[in-house]
Amino acid sequence: MNKSNTIKVKTNPDNNDTALPRIEASQEDIAQAKKLATNTLQNYSGLLGQNQAHTLNNFLSRKGRMKGKITQEQCMKIFNITAQVQSKFIKLNIQK
């Protein structure tokens, strides 16, 4: 089995009662999310809401131990934000 296709499932150590699984993102997902977050902040910063910009900045500024623990949910959040901004950009260009 290819290493990039394996899914690592970890339980939440903070709450032993409801041990929710955390699925770590693959390196390809992390690289794509970083690229999309950087491009979105550089090119479409005017279309971002305050919370969206804050989320993208926090994702890009991870350092140290937290850098290796990016979950698939966090990557999906970045993908959703960039999709929303791209659709806003397309709507603005169609209206012109």
Residue 44: name the closest of 94, 87, 96, 95 by CA: 87
Residue 74 lies in a domain: yes
pLDDT for residue 1 = 44
Please provide the average confidence, as pLDDT, over all residues in the chain: 82
Residue 1 lies in a domain: no
Residues ≥6 apart with Cβ < 8 Å to 85: 40, 44, 47, 48, 52
Residue 96 predicted with pLDDT over 60: yes
Number of domains composing the chain? 1
Q: Which of 11-20, 53-62, 79-88 has the lowest mean pLDDT?
A: 11-20
Reported pTM: 0.73
Residue 7 lies in a domain: no
Residue 43 lies in domain: 26-95
pLDDT for residue 3 = 52
Higher pLDDT, 10 or 37: 37
Residue 4 lies in a domain: no
Residue 20 lies in a domain: no
